[in-house]
Amino acid sequence: MGRLSLGQQGLIWCLIFVVLDAAQAVYFGGILQRLDGFLLGGLVFGLSSIGCILWTVFRRPQQLRVVVDNSASVLGVNLSAAGGWMAYFIAIQVIEPAVAFTIFSGVIPLTTIVAKRMGFAEAQSSRNGVEALGNGVLTLGMILLAAFTLLGWSGFVRGGIGTGLLGLVFSAIAGILIAMMLLYSKRLDLRGLEPVPQFGFRFPIYLVLTAIGYASGIDAKAAVPISDLLYAVAIGMVVLAFPIYAVQKAISLTTSLTISSVAAIAPLIVFGLQVLEGRVDYSNSTSVGLAVYFIGAIIAAVGSAHAATRIKSPG
C-alpha cells in the first residue's frame, strides 16, 4: 500500500471490514450460531485482546503510558462498544433483523454528522453535495423502514406497535453508541494510541458482559465437541475479530465519517450475498425501504470516497 494515499489505504481497510462482516453474516452465521454467542464472543475477543495486549507489553511498552494518560477515552471506547453490542442484541430479538441492521448501520454516519454540530472535533459534516444527498436519501430509507415496522408491514415484529418501537429505538441507540466508539477511537489515535493496543484495550467491559451472559444461560446451546468449538473460534478470529482490527487500522488512516459512510453500505453487501445464495425473503414493504436506503448509501459512499482520497500520504 506504499503508493496509495492515506485516504485510499483507509478506504481499503474499511472495505475489508464491510466485506468480512457481511460474509460472516451470510456464510458463517449458521456455523457460529450453533454455539452460545456469549461463549464464542468471549473466546474470540478475549483471546485476540490478550494477544494484542501482550504484543503491546513486549513490543510497544511505551503505548501503555498512552493508555493510562487517556484512560477516560479508553473507558469511553469500552462503554460505547459494549453498549452498542447490547442494544443491537436486544433490537434483533424483537424486530426484523434486516431492518435492525439497516437502521443501526445508517444511524452511524448521521450521528457522526450531528456530533460535529455538537462540537466533537473528531467528527465531520458532509464534505460535498454528493455525500449530503446520499445521507438524505439514506435517512428517507430508514424512515420508511421504521414506518413499515410500526405499521406491521415488515416481515417480523415480536409483538405490537410498542415492541416495534422498542426494536427501532434500540437499533438507533446501537448505531449512536458505535458512532461514539469511532469518535473515541479517533481521539485516541490522534493522541498517539496505535491500532493494536487500541484493539487490545477496547474489550474489557464487553468481556465482562459476555461472561455474565454465558453464566446466565441467555443464549445457551447444546454442547458441541471441543474440535467444533476450536473450529468456530478459528473462523471467528477471521470474520469477527479481524474486521474489528480493520476498523482500528482505518481509524488511523482516514476520518470517522468516511468509516461510517462505508460501513453504511454493509446491509447492501449482505443483501447482495443473500441474492447469490438465493436466500432473500423480505416483505414487499421492507424491500422498498431497503431499496431507498441502498440508493442513499451508495451515493453517500461515493461522495465519502471522493473526499477520503484527498487525504494524502505524508511527503
Question: What is residue 33's predicted lDDT score, i.e. its pLDDT?
Answer: 75
Q: Which three cell numbers stand for residue 88?
A: 443491537
User: Is pLDDT of 31 > 80?
Assistant: no
Residue 283: closest CA among 184, 93, 151, 138: 151
For 206-256, how does the pLDDT look when each residue is reduced to its tens digit (9 = 90+)?
A: 999 999 999 999 888 888 899 989 999 999 999 999 999 999 999 999 999
The residue assigned the cell 446491509 is 267
Average pLDDT, the chain: 92
Residues whose CB falls within 8 Å of the CB of residue 159, separated by 6 or more in sequence, listed in order: 94
pLDDT at residue 195 in the model = 97
Distance set, CA 295 to CA 1, 111, 244, 251, 299 (Å): 30, 19, 26, 25, 6
The residue ranking higher by pLDDT, 310 or 176, is 176
Q: How many structural domains compose the chain?
A: 1
Residue 204 pLDDT exceeds 70:
yes
The answer to the question of residue 104 being in a domain is yes
CA-wise closest residue to 112 among 79, 137, 135: 135
**Residue 315: is its pLDDT beyond 50?**
no
Q: Which residues constitute the domain of residue 56?
A: 6-308
Residue 313 resides in a domain: no
User: 251: which residues sit within 8 A by CB, 6+ positions away?
Assistant: 182, 185, 186, 189, 195, 198, 259
pLDDT at 32: 72
The arithmetic mean of pLDDT across residues 129-149, rounded, is 96
Q: 314 in a domain, yes or no?
A: no
- Say what the pLDDT of residue 312 is: 56
The answer to whether residue 134 scores a pLDDT higher than 60 is yes
Rg for the chain, CA atoms, rounded: 19
CA 111 to chain centre: 13
* Cα 239 from chain centroid (whole Å): 13
- Residue 275: the pLDDT is 87
Whether the per-residue pLDDT at 142 is higher than 80: the answer is yes
Domain assignment present for residue 148? The answer is: yes
* Residues ≥6 apart with Cβ < 8 Å to 158: 93, 94, 95, 167
**1 lies in some domain:** no
Q: Enumerate residues 6+ apart whose C-beta is below 8 A from 301.
A: 134, 261, 262, 264, 265
Encoded amino acid at 251, one letter: I
Residue 105 placed within a domain: yes
Express each pLDDT in 150-186 by its tens digit.
998 887 677 788 989 999 999 999 999 999 999 999 9
Instruction: Indicate the SS3 state at residue 180.
Output: helix
160: three-class secondary structure by DSSP: coil
Residue 178 and residue 88: Cα distance in Å, rounded?
Answer: 10
Provide the pLDDT confidence category of residue 314 given band limits of 50, 70 and 90. Answer: very low
Higher pLDDT among residues 304 and 29, named by residue? 304
First to last CA, the chain: 15
Q: What is the average per-residue pLDDT within 176-199?
A: 97
Residue 136 in domain = yes
- Which helix (H) or strand (E) is 59 found in, with range? helix 37-59
Predicted confidence at residue 105, as pLDDT, reads 97
- DSSP per-residue string spanning 110-141: HHHHHHHHTT-TT-----SHHHHHHHHHHHHH
Please give the residue that has the higher pLDDT: either 62 or 281.
62
Q: 72 — phi, psi (to 5°)?
A: -65, -40
Look-up of cell digits 452465521: 29
Query: At 47, which amino acid appears?
Result: L
Which residues make beta-bridge pairs with 95?
Answer: 157
User: Is residue 68 within 8 Å of residue 103, measured between CB atoms?
Assistant: no
Q: Which residues contact 202 (CB under 8 A, 6 or more apart)?
A: 49, 74, 77, 78, 81, 181, 185
Domain annotation covers residue 315: no
